[in-house]
Every structure is written in C-alpha cells, then in structure tokens.
Amino acid sequence: MSLEKIKRIDSNRLEVPSDYKPGMRTKGIIYLSKDLESGLETQAIDQVANVATLPGIVGVSLAMPDIHAGYGFPIGGVAGFDFKEGIISPGGVGYDINCGVSLLRSNLQKKDIMTRIKDLVAALYQEIPSGVGSKGKTKLTTDDVKRILIDGAKWAISEGFGTATDIERIESGGCLEGADPTIISQKAYERGKGQQATLGSGNHFLEIQYVEEIYDEKIANVIGLFKDQITVMVHTGSRGFGHQVCTDFIELMEKAARKYSIALPDKELACAPFQSQEGQDYFSAMKAAANFAWANRLCIVHWTRETFQKLFNLSPKALGMSLVYDVAHNIAKLEEHIVDGKRRRLVVHRKGATRAFPPGHPELPEIYRSIGQPVLIPGDMGRASFVLIGTQRGMEETFGSTCHGAGRVLSRHQAIKKAKGRAIWREMEDKGIIVKAAGRETLAEEMSEAYKDVDDVVKVVHDAGISLKVAKLRPLGVIKG
C-alpha cells in the first residue's frame, strides 16, 4: 500500500484506488475536504481499504467526513454487501449497536428558559440515570427484556413511556422484525435488565439546545422548527446489552470466517456469509439490540417531557414537546438500492454513519415523505448540532447515508492529558453552557478540542449534496454520563 496512491476526486472526495492494498475488490471513497484532510489517519484509510476486500461488496467502500479509526470498519464507514453472496460483520456495526439520536422540538423559546436553565439541567440530571454502570428506573425481569427485544419502541409505549405518534417519527418504526431472544446470552440479559432507560457514559448525552439558524425555511416548517426554539437532543444506544451481544458474536464470527475460508486482512473484520446460520444468528441478535436501544431512547424522551412539564408547570399541549425524529447510526439493514442501473437487495452496514433517505422513499413516514428523511448530526458539547435532510444524490452515491457526528481527533487518554489542570465545566459556563456530568474525566474526554469542528464536517456532506442543511442547534445545557 502507498499513501501516494490516494488521490483527490473533487473538493469533497478522496479516492482510495483498488490497488492501494492487495485483495481489494473495489475502490474506496472518503468524503473529506482539504481542510479536514490533515487529520486523516493512515489506519482509517487502511480500514476503508480492508472493507473493500470483503466478499460480496457492492459499489465502493465508503467513509464519511467524521472518519476516524475504529474496530474493523472505520468510524464513519458505510458498505453494502450482496444479499446472497455477501457477508455480515459485527465490526461493520460496532459494539454500541444502534447508538443513535432522538430530537425533540417544543413550543418554548430561548427567552422562556434562560432564567431556569440551571434548574432544568439539575432536574434532568436527577430524573435520567447517567454515568458508567448507571441503573434504570424501570425494574425489569428477563421476560420483560425479551419483550423489549421483540417490540422495541412499541414496548416503551405499551408501558406508558411515549405516545403512539412517536412511532412514525422513529427510523424503522422503532422496531426491526425478526429479533430472536433465544440466541441472546444470559450475560447480555443480566446487563440489559439494569440498564434499560439509561443514558450511559462516554460520548452519550442529553442536550438542551436552541435553534440558532434556519437554512431551509420550507423544510424546517414541515419538521416543526423555528428560530430561537428550544429543542432537546438525546444521544445513546443499547448500553451494556448491545456491547455484550457484539462481544459474544465476535468470537463466533472469528470461527465462522475460518470455517467459510474468508481471508481477512484484519481479524477485527471477522464475519460470516449473510445467508449462513452464523450470519443469520448475528443479524437476529443485532436486531434485538437495536430494538433495545430504540426503547431506551424513547423512555428517556418520555422522562424529558415530564421534567419540562413539571418545571415549567405546562400541560403537554402547551409545551408541545414532540419527537422530530430518531435515527440509528450503528446498524446493518437489509435494503434495496439501484446499483449500476439494477435494483439489488443489499445488507448495508453503517458504522458511525446515518441513514439519509430521499423524498418519496417508501420507508419514510407519510409526514416526511415529501421532503425526505430528517438527519440528526450531533457535534461536541461546546459547539453545535445540525438537522439535515436526505437527498436523491445521497441515495445514488452512498446508499442513502451521511455522517453521524463531528468525529474524534483526540483519543480519550489524549483528551484527559490535555485537560489536566483545567476546569472544563467552568470553561463551558463561560460560553453560556451549563454542564453536569458524573465525573471530571468525562468532561475532559468530551471537551471540544477532542473533536473535529462539526461545521466543517457538515459542510462536506452539504456541499457534496448527500444531505442538505436545514437548521443549526446551539447548546444551552448538557448532561453527560
């Protein structure tokens, strides 16, 4: 392999040619501007190339501008594999299965909450369990968890945590059919029982925001966003349950790769043919973890609404706090795409990437079918987040995918070292952002310098036309695990 072989296609894309590394079946495309190119890791490029060696890959191996090195696939990696001839890989989904984002809109404006922002952050921190090993308020049995694994967000609604109108505003209706609770390990169940309806730690957060800028008034009106409006963003996933599912199946997939004589350039890409028993078992277990995550986020959304209602003494109607959308960004899904003029059934892996389907797509809810899928892109806690919309160009070039966040530039260890002697919470408060976290190290790991500037990342996908900017959201209060 040779870095000299990497070439720039245009201002927003780099090409990793198919002769970059032995065994590549196709080329790689990395969506990246010249401004972000200096932070591109050689390891991440290698991972894009490694994915291109996997059996049954269709089109090209893709990466979004928030790319950085991950486990197996790069974070920001997207790849489609043929339904019959291709593979499925836990390394193309990640440990936090269906880590994703929910966005709530409200009738409140920035001026309505500024005198109560500290009280609001404290109340939400009290009501929503967060931090390493945090325990949920719901007391679950193994049978309860099995119901969650089958029903996803529908379980939350049946228990009173959410409303029927939420379902149409969640990707895939908050439930993937075909989850099989019988193939889940007892250890995963034990971890899941205590962690449903918890925010967790690391880069997971709940953020109170306001709409700073509207880029597309027409689409913002359909979504229900307006300038200076208060929104809330929730970022979390399947917690320890999903992590355990991934751990359990990586070992199985390593054996499967040997069994089916799949040559791997990196053992972290352990995989099995999608149609094999091992492949189908992982797919079913992944669906179970994805459903766990959708139920998790909806419970947190429910308690967020309740907290706002109590603190501001507002009725649900007066508050108007409704779900804009909920998106997954660590998942593999069976989808149909047009490739080289032919409709093909593919297993699309999105690892730190967000689905961004165009207007008219049949999988979109009726309320958004005319405009396309809302895309939610969180930034770091000190800058901003974005709402975008899916496009036809993205469907044609990236299997309807876009970035999922800002993307790290410092490891957690590097960030903690850089933050030594600093009071990150005070630096945030000086910016007008109230932050509450379980520990000082969490704030150090998640400080703004640890991430790319989300404005630069979003500019790439917008300028490339694979998703388009609708609104910019600025943080006012943040809860970190």
Q: What are the residue numbers of the active site?
A: 404
∠ at Cα 148 (142, 154), nearest 5°?
150
Instruction: Please tell me the distance from the alpha carbon of residue 457 to that of residue 383, in angstroms, as a whole number.
Output: 13
- At a CB cut-off of 8 Å and minimum separation 6, what does 440 contact? 424
DSSP per-residue string spanning 267-324: GGG--EETTSHHHHHHHHHHHHHHHHHHHHHHHHHHHHHHHHHHHHT--HHHHT-EEE
- Sign of the dihedral defined by the CA atoms of residues 395, 177, 193, 286, in that order: negative
Instruction: Please tell me the distance from the alpha carbon of residue 167 to that of residue 157, in angstroms, as a whole number.
Output: 9
DSSP per-residue string spanning 114-178: GGGHHHHHHHHHHHS--STT---SS---HHHHHHHHHHTHHHHHHTTSS-HHHHTTBGGGG--TT
- 245 three-class SS: helix
